[in-house]
Chains A and B, each alone.
Chain A
């Protein structure tokens, strides 16, 4: 158990639908990062939050959005889902905004869009 909790572990949904992925960071960590990993794309950084504020944005589609709540958990919202959105979505957390001693990943949410 890495200390980063992601729910749900698996999600199957139809095209056009909207889903919400949840992440609870490791205790004491203020930063949360979201990554998407598909077979042909590798690990792609989506977005980072630090203590409730958006800190960095990567290759996140406009159909996707995220937020970090006062209790530091984060949610990634994916809407108007397409078949190509099928992937593993990972959340990671770190103490600060940087990568001191690396950051800790959760076990991921596997999203299948049918």
Chain B
């Protein structure tokens, strides 16, 4: 199972773009990259998933370089409500995702 490394915390101001990079050097060929967001006392919420290049949805963008050894979650124009912990997970969708452990995640704090 690919291990992931991401920053412990990041601070930002409202309206700025926040980029969180996750390292996954031993990612396997069949592995996908998925990001979750968690607010205090709530369950994690799926944000975005990708395999390669770039994926964009209404919430975020996910950039994956050609070697796939890292990925960057981009949150455009953050607001106070984007203050949360963000988790990066790597694994194949054909495996039991339950085996994957959520790491410590990245605590993003957005201030006015």
Q: CB within 8 Å of B: which residues of A?
A: 2, 4, 31, 33, 35, 42-45, 47-48, 55-56, 58, 88, 90, 92, 94, 96-108, 110
A42 touches B91 (CB 8 A): no
Given contacts A48-B96, A48-B98, A58-B99, contact A102 B46 (CB under 8 A): yes
Interface check B21, CB cutoff 8 A = no
Given contacts A42-B103, A100-B93, contact A58 B41 (CB under 8 A): no
B101 touches A44 (CB 8 A): yes
List residues of chain A with CB within 8 A of the CB of B10: none
A105 touches B45 (CB 8 A): yes
Contact-residue size bin, chain B (C-beta under 8 Å from the other chain): 20 to 34
User: In the docked arrangement, what's the CA distance between A44 and B101, Å?
Assistant: 6
List residues of chain A with CB within 8 A of the CB of B104: 42
CB distance from B80 to the nearest CB of A (A): 21
List residues of chain A with CB within 8 A of the CB of B99: 45, 56, 58
| Residue in A closest to B97 when the chains form the complex, CB atoms | A99
A108 touches B91 (CB 8 A): no
Given contacts A42-B102, A43-B102, contact A108 B41 (CB under 8 A): yes
Given contacts A99-B34, A102-B34, contact A88 B98 (CB under 8 A): no
A-B contact pairs, 9 of them (CB 8 A): A42-B104, A44-B101, A48-B96, A58-B98, A97-B94, A97-B96, A98-B93, A99-B93, A108-B42
Cβ contacts B44-68/A at 8 Å (1 or 0 each): 1110010000000000000000000
A98 touches B95 (CB 8 A): yes
Q: Pick from A2, A31, A58, A110: contact of B45, CB below 8 A.
A: A2
A88 touches B41 (CB 8 A): yes
If A56-B98, A99-B32 are given as contacts, then 14 extra A-B residue pairs at C-beta distance below 8 Å, sorted by A number, are: A33-B98, A43-B101, A45-B98, A45-B99, A47-B98, A58-B99, A90-B43, A90-B44, A92-B43, A97-B95, A98-B95, A98-B96, A105-B43, A108-B43
